Structure 1
Amino acid sequence: MKKKLSTVLLALAAFMSMTAQNLVKGDYGYLYCHMSDKGEWTAYAISRDGYNYQDINGGNPIFNPEEHARIEGGTRDAYITRMHNGKGYIMVTTDMCVRKSHKWDNYGIDLLKSKDLKNWTSVTFDFRKGMQNFCDAATATSPYKDWSAINRVWHLRSFKTFTKLTTPKLLFDWGYATIDADINFLKSNGLYHMLIKKEGGKRGIFTATSKYLTHGWSAPVDDDFVSFEGNKLTEGSSAFQLIGDDTWRVAYIQYSDHPKHYRICKADKYLRNFSDPVDIKGVTAPQHGSFMRITKNEYKMLQKWDKELKNKAK
């Protein structure tokens, strides 16, 4: 997707050394936290097997997006993870609402925290405001001074209070546009693995690796990537490891067709050798999002909350 900000910010790098592997603690089910294709809000769905899901709140918003997205009122492309100490949850959303603005300009992000997956507090960072966003403003260069013709991936750190960010730094530059980076640390080989979309050129979801989270990223390989959709457009990948298994699943949106297809394919323990793509089941209007493994208590709590929300809506 075209973004006026020529960046895709890997926020929360303060937690990334832990959360790049999404703190795999859940042993009972999966939470799919995603933007709804019906609107620019955040929705939940839960699953026991990673393929067949049950909407929470009927696929409707889990919170009012306008309460957290203070720039445009839309919370797109939700990324959810556990906090580094396991006591709570973090979510990052793109603050953007195309149906209101009628353009693909993106000016900031929303950082959200929760203790229970239901009630969220948030801070919005509007990058048009420049220096006041950054804790090291004396040496900062506004990201708005680094315009380019291509989208590139940057990383930054957040205070635990979410009140300030460090200056964004370029994660890599392969000489062409890239968006929608998803990073996981793999115990199988001790490397960070990135799934990413190239803008232009060969279509598909590509992979790159590094020994280090914030530098040393090799260019994506061209001989082993998510290529099942041929010349159809794909983006928004998110990987999760199966419970009781060392293999992975990679989800992505194929948006050339109407209706779109949100797909999940298999990968081995090295996040390679992709195979067997299928459509996600049971989700109303799936779109770009992320997956988190959850415990039995979390799963049952979300089921109970779903019933409460439905009864409240009657």
Structure 2
Amino acid sequence: MKKLFILIFLAGLLHNATAQDAVYLFAYFKDNGQDGLHLAYSRDGYKWLALNNDQSVLTPAAGVDKLMRDPCIIRGADGRFHMVWTVSWKEKSIGYASSADLVHWSAQKDIPVMAHEPGALNCWAPEITYDARRKEYMIYWATTIPGRFTAGDSTGDEKYNHRLYYVTTKDFQHFSPAKLLYDQGFNVIDASIVPDQGRFIMFLKDETKTPPQKNIRTAVSNTLTGGYGKPSAPITGPYWAEGPTALHTAGKWIVYFDKYTQHRYGAVESTDLKTWTDVSGKLSMPQGIRHGAVLTITSKEFELLK
């Protein structure tokens, strides 16, 4: 019994040390994404400070239009940081690069995930989620293929009626064919998926304009690559929101999003993923921050960034 108590005590110390060691990092873009990747950090998840004097830390080189919008960075199972982003408003590909330290990046490459679809209009807001059970990554994004879906075809912005698509990869060199990930009969973009106790939580934007939605919702599945059901009720308020990204810290979920018509960021938080409280008033974000993604790094990694 005494040995068991000591083991539990040491495990608690290790957990507290790990929590104290954590630094939250926000990858984002500014303006149209033409100058590249921006980074901000936080110790508490509410006050965010820009790194590098809020100047770009990586210049875009992939795609024809050379943009770096909607960056998403995750720590891979291989220990490296993997990033994807939107390279253009109209191209059929996404950008990819990796790094061991968030300072030195691999050569950027263009992944033509929708090149096989002649009518595809775009590839927007890609993200990556790792599937520990299958030991592979899923990259997913939103694309409009005119005429492919009738539901929602006249309720969005102009000709856009998005659905979510995905590919899988184990090495970011070889990719599965693109497949449909989410279609629940409405225009949907900006998915961000996080594992949670054996299941996967998708945060998504209902892109319906008429009648107006433009809000963040959730959907749940027991498998990463499919099975997400009808979306929840909106977790955001009576304003237009997009680009959700979630942080799980201190027993609660914080979901950040761009209140893009108000030109500022918002957040909601929950302990059960069902009841949400608006905490936008607690946020302090860099000026001009746009759609991005949050991740956790160590103090040592942060010192190298500084």
Question: Could you tell me the TM-score, scaled by structure 2's length?
Answer: 0.74
Q: Provide Cα deviations, 1:109-167, integer angstroms capped at 9, x if missing partner.
A: 01111011011122212357439xxxxxxxxxxx998863520001111351x333211
Q: For residues 37 and 94 of structure 2, what CA distance do their matches in structure 1 show?
A: 14
Q: Which moved more, 1:274-283 or 1:196-205?
A: 274-283
1:163 aligns with 2:155: no
The 1-side partners of 2:174 and 2:192 are apart by 23
> Structure 1: which amino acid aligns with 2:40?
A
Rounded Cα–Cα distance in structure 2 between residues aligned with 1:289 and 1:182? 10
CA shift, 1:227, in A, is 2.6
1:30 and 2:28 aligned: no
Contact 1:234-1:255 at 8 Å conserved across structures: yes
Coordinate RMSD, CA, aligned:
2.4
* Distance in structure 1 (CA, Å) of the matches to 2:64 and 2:20: 34
Q: Paired residue for 2:260?
A: 255
1:265 deviation in Å? 1.9
The residue type paired with residue 166 of structure 1 is: S
**1:48 aligned onto 2:34:** no
1:221 aligns to what?
232
Distance in structure 1 (CA, Å) of the matches to 2:63 and 2:292: 20
1:278 is aligned to: 280
Corresponding position of 2:13:
none
Which piece of structure 1 moves more, 39-48 or 205-214? 39-48
The one-letter code sitting in structure 1 at the alignment partner of 2:205 is K
Query: What amino acid does structure 2 have at the position aligned with 1:238?
Result: T
Contact 1:38 1:285 in 2 (8 A): no
Find out whether 1:73 has 2:83 as its counterpart. no
Q: Any idea what SS the aligned residue of 1:298 has?
A: helix
Summarize deviations over 1:92-124 as a string: whole Å, max 9, x none.
10111xxxxxxx424210111101101112221
Separation of aligned partners in 1, 2:173 and 2:22: 34
Which amino acid in 1 is paired with 2:243?
G
| CA distance in structure 2 between the aligned counterparts of 1:126 and 1:26, rounded to whole angstroms | 41
Offset of 1:207 from its aligned partner? 0.6
What is the match of residue 251 of structure 2?
246
- Among the aligned pairs, what percent are the same residue? 26
Q: Which has the higher helix share?
A: 1
d(CA) in 2 for partners of 1:220 and 1:26? 35
Written as runs of structure 1 = structure 2, the 5 A alignment for 1:1-314 is 27-37=21-31, 39-40=33-34, 41-65=36-60, 67=61, 69-85=62-78, 87-96=79-88, 104-121=89-106, 122-127=108-113, 129-130=115-116, 148=148, 149=153, 150-160=161-171, 162-187=172-197, 190-200=198-208, 201=211, 202-222=213-233, 225-228=234-237, 230=238, 232-242=239-249, 245-257=250-262, 260-268=263-271, 270-278=272-280, 280-303=283-306
Cα distance in 2 for residues equivalent to 1:175 and 1:278: 30
Q: Which has the higher contact order (CA 8 A, sep 6+)?
A: 1
CA distance, structure 2, for counterparts of residue 207 and residue 166 of structure 1: 26
Shift in alpha-carbon separation, 1:25–1:130, aligned structure 2, 3 A: farther
Distance 1:266 1:77 in 2: 22
1:36-76 CA distance string (max 9 Å, x none):
236432100111111112211122211111x2x23210011
Letter matched to residue 59 of structure 2:
N
Between the two proteins, the alignment pairs up a number of residues equal to 247
Q: Which runs of 5+ in 2 are unaligned?
A: 1-17, 118-142, 154-160
Alpha carbons of structure 1 residues 114 and 172: separation in structure 2 relative to 1, 3 Å: same
Cα displacement (A) at 1:298: 1.3
Distance 1:210 1:25, change over 3 A: farther
Q: Specify the SS of the correspondent of 1:285.
A: coil
Superposition deviation, residue 214 in structure 1: 1.0
Provide the C-alpha distance between the structure 2 equivalents of 1:128 and 1:31, rounded to a whole number of angstroms.
Answer: 30
Q: Could you state the TM-score of these two structures normalised by the residue count of structure 1?
A: 0.72
**Contact (CA 8 Å) 1:30, 1:292: kept in 2 or not?**
yes
Distance 1:26-1:124 versus aligned 2 partners, 3 A rule: farther
Tell me how far apart the structure 1 counterparts of residues 244 and 217 of structure 2 sit (CA, whole Å).
Answer: 10
